[in-house]
Structure 1
């Protein structure tokens, strides 16, 4: 392959937005510039309304049918053959000059090749090789060619597998722990001579050398990482499977150890403020403290002053240090049920940056003034020195307010806790007027004994104390974004896009099947969703409506450009309150220091030049951590239930797919699959509009949200898979509903079919349940 001429990457000139229905070339030019766009985005860009919007839908259908446009996931349309702005790509080719070329992992063999930018080795700690998977950003050069610039090398090469050793007869097999993987490897006698059944290993597929055309591939042992029967095996598997960076370099550890206790130099003395921390009972780091008192300004009668003090991590983690480079690489702390992989070394995360009771700590604090109507009137940031007056758990604080103070909270009740609650109840007026999205979530907590064995899985209590801290943190985050915008200082926003019109249309069509009216043409608004949730909360459809509204929402992420936060109903929002565990917050702290002239350790020109890349990196890191946390939780839950195979459980259908039903158990929150092939002799069709499996002959239904009883057939701790047998009967047919179209009887991806046979272990039918770290919400 000839090497493309090197050119500097430049963005093309933006396409101007004419008013009115565009012609084909103008529409494609817009999509080429945007990368991808939904119908609503296109209509907004060209100012289309009413009949023009309907005409646009027809034009998009025609262009898609002709092959000029292609669908891009669920979000909308892109020019046919176009690459997304950011995607996961695999290194597939090297030319005679040594340049590497990548292809989108999900793009198939027809996806276009893109040359990897020459700085790939610098961004991946070593040159990538054939088969490596990378997160890349595509950029168009002046020549019109597309270049792939590396954002992140992903955790495992396409040819590496994390698996468990199974010794069978004369074979030594590596069975993957990833439920989606079908690659079983055979190790040589030399590699496997010291291995034991149940060892967790990393092995590599051998791409050369003799092997059978069918059956397991040959593999090479790379590393032994532990045992599948170790109490902490689930988090260990998740760390290796998702490539979570672990530990710290000697240089970073040395920098942390050299950190000094803070002094008053360059700081305001806040030690007389009785700030307190309120955290989960098992929290090891404390990065936020709060205090409130009535406003003594006569012009603000009934108003309150609320202080939020945050650990001043920027004083210890500076641009250009090993600490900073490794924190940026990790992106955030990763929280597992039994351990945490911190973003910063313990000397900082649990030491100098943790707002310990009775100890002097450096802080970035914000003083906020609220009127009696709950609206924020003003705020100012302070770089200070504080001393926490008390460390409380959520339960302690709530019990004290509810009339059950203990020896510690009793003396604090009148002077600190009651004023905090009074200020919060005033802030609630502003929150209710703003009407952030009020979707209910059911969080579970896994409890372990000292030996690391699971003793219980409990539902987390939702306390007013949680909501108090959350609202005060949200308001502090808003203050940070407002100040930095006012000072015209670059920052990383926390953004949450508005649901697409396609998702809104699907929601409306589904609600029609429940007899719930919903205007499909209205723009998405949080108060509309909240009204729907409130009206159905006490009725039989509450769980399914809550679930479908949740699925209508987009996923929050980090961005250097602001599009607002739909879920919180805020125009400006940035993460400021958790710099110990989130790199985004550290960047916002540095930006405030620079903007307000609070020191020489603020945002550097180097930070600013990388800010777009940093936002993409930490978004990827957050999603990587969320996936790892969820997988570890799944494995621990499967381990907890493994000795209850054959038991029956009440649950609810939380997912409907063509290959089966996902059921969540009420007792533990565990998710598992009921394969469609086990639902009886009748053939069931997946009706996407109804969110149900519908019998083609009887019309009987298995709808999303239905309460059911299931029997646990199989629990596989190493993969986190649960398999259920349905004991309940389907809902009766709706006599007014049309019968579903006959489906095509074909083999399912999970190994089952329309008439029988459970899915293969590790297939896509196994559960995934959400996990969240330590009571801290990701907003």
Structure 2
């Protein structure tokens, strides 16, 4: 029983979150007047529970802070200066998810005759104070001597005193001076890597060109910027290329012959590789009335990419393929990714195939995995399959309409019903599609359409992924699960408060499920609150990851889930294939003992390469979008507020999905407070409120293709 004087979890969590620096047990005990060994033990247990919930993290000095907080004292690198001369910085080292919090430096208290002022590229030791989860203030303790650390990617421009480098990273607000001896072979408009040097005259930050990457006049440079900025490997070792070139389709031998089954691939019209094929029929087993028999066949990458080989090392380093509007950086060499591992129609291909049986309710009742040889009957697109299902077949789909496509939709209807019943999180998030013309320029940016044919493939893949996880778990075989944790306690409480404020309370149940969120989304569908509620629920979710420790997939409402269906482009799927081959005794290419001992490390690495790829893809799309809109400066657009910070409003345009910033300094005359809980900026004098997801009319004032950044101002009518 808890003593009446002892604070609850919420009170202690609120104290930790309100502190500007990490706190220890001594500060907490002093704040709540706790004393004695009993109190100390209770506090220790409560902090351990908060840490297990993910509500706080324990630093090296055992002091507690909200997740991904920075320490009280840290080494910083100054990265930019705004128009008002305010310096911003980042931690010199950052191991958390996504980008580090923003740090603004408080003005230095200088004595007369003191040294040069701080400038971009300086390294310093600073005392940090947390404003909120994403923002800190820093007070300089001392500079750290020596050359500035860091390397920038930027565009070289000649100038009277040598040249300038304009960083491609939008967080860098300052140009770097390049003196003639430091220019290298850079020409006007070249994309270059440069080392940051100590400040020169009048504190002007300097840089030295170390590598020339090519001209930014070439539209395809936007993807190149993203590739280099995020450190994505692009060149395969000679040994890996040789292994890929020497590979060949295996003979049938012990494999199951699937070549007479009309498996088909269904992908986007712009797909570069085809690693999954599907087929379905009504189950003839009288014990399974109205049930279905499905086959999901996946390219047998494990046959060609063996543990410890040059191909394996190169694939692991990449972690996954990265997709840009104009190119792909593949995880495997083209001889495999677009050749032997791509399920081309009419060609024999090695595969791993799950036979899946579902009942009339769409529940997976049994499954069997085989190593087979298949021959795709057709390469179909989502649009083709949907048109055929809607009664408008073309020359390719007409012969397949009754025998192949209709059964696929029959099985899908059962799987969709099962999905609805178990209550998954149904967030309909639009995806931008950038279409490039023959000259490499943006022809169109539009929201990608989603059809039932897309959902059909998703449900078939989910069924196969569940089957893979079930095999691993049933046989106690270590592997990698795709895990998605429940939202953290602090995010849930913030979400509850927000939803209650707009009249849609979320129950206090400690056992919230995705269906609770989906019910609220259905309630607000079609109302003015719908976009806002979707956005806030999305932001409350945890980030999915790879781990050998299965905690289930919260968003899909599944107890076990493992990625199995894309080994051409995801190394995690290759690990799962190898684990299945080993535990089921399916031949060569199984998981090796060395990998078994490193699964936790591998999961962390692959979660990181996945985030790296997503960030690079997003950056490239932002740059292409900025280039597409660069000649529309001054035009009006409609959009919605997609983010709120003390610096301004982030707006997403309805027409293209483009994102840009309305600086707070350009908002109607007032001083604005950032109401973090309400996701809003509120005018102190007028009460004028700008809230997340509110519709706005804006005028485009700046579009920079090199950095991918855009600036807006509110249209006069707003």
Q: What TM-score does the superposition give when structure 2 sets the normalisation length?
A: 0.83
Sort the Cα spacing of 1:88 and 1:626 in 2 relative to 1 into closer, same or farther, 3 A.
farther
Following superposition, the deviation at residue 374 of structure 1 comes to 1.2
Following superposition, the deviation at residue 594 of structure 1 comes to 0.2
Following superposition, the deviation at residue 191 of structure 1 comes to 3.6
Sort the Cα spacing of 1:669 and 1:263 in 2 relative to 1 into closer, same or farther, 3 A.
same
Counterpart for residue 711 of structure 1:
699
Counterpart for residue 228 of structure 1:
216
Q: Are 1:77 and 2:66 matched, yes or no?
A: no
* Alignment counterpart, residue 197 of structure 1, candidates 177, 182, 188: 188
Sort the Cα spacing of 1:373 and 1:53 in 2 relative to 1 into closer, same or farther, 3 A.
farther
Following superposition, the deviation at residue 266 of structure 1 comes to 2.2
Which whole-Å CA distance do the structure 1 matches of 2:15 and 2:441 have between them?
59
Following superposition, the deviation at residue 515 of structure 1 comes to 2.2
Sort the Cα spacing of 1:671 and 1:380 in 2 relative to 1 into closer, same or farther, 3 A.
same
**Partner SS for 1:234:** helix
Q: Are 1:67 and 2:20 matched, yes or no?
A: no
Q: Are 1:160 and 2:151 matched, yes or no?
A: yes
Q: Are 1:55 and 2:8 matched, yes or no?
A: yes
Q: Is the 8 A contact 1:262 1:360 kept in 2?
A: no
* Alignment counterpart, residue 376 of structure 1, candidates 364, 374, 379: 364
Q: Are 1:177 and 2:168 matched, yes or no?
A: yes
Counterpart for residue 215 of structure 1:
204
Which whole-Å CA distance do the structure 2 matches of 1:241 and 1:716 have between them?
16
Following superposition, the deviation at residue 187 of structure 1 comes to 2.5
Which whole-Å CA distance do the structure 1 matches of 2:618 and 2:475 have between them?
39
Following superposition, the deviation at residue 507 of structure 1 comes to 1.3
Following superposition, the deviation at residue 512 of structure 1 comes to 2.4
Q: Is the 8 A contact 2:341 2:568 kept in 1?
A: yes
CA offset digits 1:226-254 (Å, max 9, x no partner): 11121101100000000001120111000
CA offset digits 1:479-514 (Å, max 9, x no partner): 001001111111011111101221121112112222
Q: Are 1:187 and 2:140 matched, yes or no?
A: no
Q: Are 1:511 and 2:490 matched, yes or no?
A: no
Alignment of 1:420-459 (within 5 A): 420-459=408-447
Segments of structure 1 that go 5 or more residues without pairing to the other structure are 1-19, 23-50, 93-101, 110-130, 132-156, 731-779
Following superposition, the deviation at residue 212 of structure 1 comes to 3.9
CA offset digits 1:131-190 (Å, max 9, x no partner): 9xxxxxxxxxxxxxxxxxxxxxxxxx9511111002121231222100112464332313
Following superposition, the deviation at residue 620 of structure 1 comes to 0.6
Sort the Cα spacing of 1:225 and 1:722 in 2 relative to 1 into closer, same or farther, 3 A.
same
Following superposition, the deviation at residue 213 of structure 1 comes to 6.5
Following superposition, the deviation at residue 560 of structure 1 comes to 1.4
Which whole-Å CA distance do the structure 2 matches of 1:559 and 1:212 have between them?
51
Counterpart for residue 128 of structure 2:
none
Q: Is the 8 A contact 2:472 2:479 kept in 1?
A: yes
Segments of structure 2 that go 5 or more residues without pairing to the other structure are 29-49, 76-91, 104-122, 124-147
Following superposition, the deviation at residue 82 of structure 1 comes to 4.3
Which whole-Å CA distance do the structure 2 matches of 1:420 and 1:333 have between them?
28
Q: Is the 8 A contact 1:285 1:350 kept in 2?
A: yes
Which whole-Å CA distance do the structure 2 matches of 1:680 and 1:87 have between them?
34
Q: Is the 8 A contact 1:68 1:79 kept in 2?
A: no
Q: Is the 8 A contact 2:351 2:374 kept in 1?
A: yes
Counterpart for residue 147 of structure 1:
none
Q: What TM-score does the superposition give when structure 1 sets the normalisation length?
A: 0.76
Q: Are 1:526 and 2:505 matched, yes or no?
A: no
Q: Are 1:243 and 2:211 matched, yes or no?
A: no
Q: Identify which range, 258-267 or 270-279, moves more after superposition.
A: 258-267
Which whole-Å CA distance do the structure 1 matches of 2:244 and 2:68 have between them?
34
Q: Is the 8 A contact 1:504 1:520 kept in 2?
A: no
Following superposition, the deviation at residue 696 of structure 1 comes to 0.9
Q: Are 1:701 and 2:689 matched, yes or no?
A: yes
CA RMSD of aligned residues (A): 2.8
Following superposition, the deviation at residue 58 of structure 1 comes to 3.1
Counterpart for residue 352 of structure 1:
340
CA offset digits 1:534-584 (Å, max 9, x no partner): 010011111101111111111111111111110001110110000000000
Q: Is the 8 A contact 2:183 2:208 kept in 1?
A: no
CA offset digits 1:51-70 (Å, max 9, x no partner): 99962333455678693169
Q: Is the 8 A contact 1:446 1:454 kept in 2?
A: yes
Q: Are 1:620 and 2:573 matched, yes or no?
A: no
Following superposition, the deviation at residue 194 of structure 1 comes to 3.7
CA offset digits 1:207-228 (Å, max 9, x no partner): 5xx83462213x2221101111
CA offset digits 1:53-112 (Å, max 9, x no partner): 9623334556786931699999522335349999999x99xxxxxxxxx96577999xxx
Which whole-Å CA distance do the structure 1 matches of 2:23 and 2:576 have between them?
44
Which whole-Å CA distance do the structure 2 matches of 1:529 and 1:688 have between them?
21
Q: Identify which range, 65-74 or 591-600, moves more after superposition.
A: 65-74
Which whole-Å CA distance do the structure 1 matches of 2:243 and 2:697 have between them?
56
Counterpart for residue 466 of structure 2:
478
Which whole-Å CA distance do the structure 1 matches of 2:599 and 2:324 have between them?
29
Which whole-Å CA distance do the structure 2 matches of 1:679 and 1:67 have between them?
37
Sort the Cα spacing of 1:380 and 1:649 in 2 relative to 1 into closer, same or farther, 3 A.
same
Following superposition, the deviation at residue 428 of structure 1 comes to 1.6
Sort the Cα spacing of 1:167 and 1:505 in 2 relative to 1 into closer, same or farther, 3 A.
same
Counterpart for residue 379 of structure 2:
391
Following superposition, the deviation at residue 283 of structure 1 comes to 1.2
Which whole-Å CA distance do the structure 2 matches of 1:223 and 1:340 have between them?
23
CA offset digits 1:20-77 (Å, max 9, x no partner): 669xxxxxxxxxxxxxxxxxxxxxxxxxxxx999623334556786931699999522
Counterpart for residue 755 of structure 1:
none
**Partner SS for 2:228:** helix
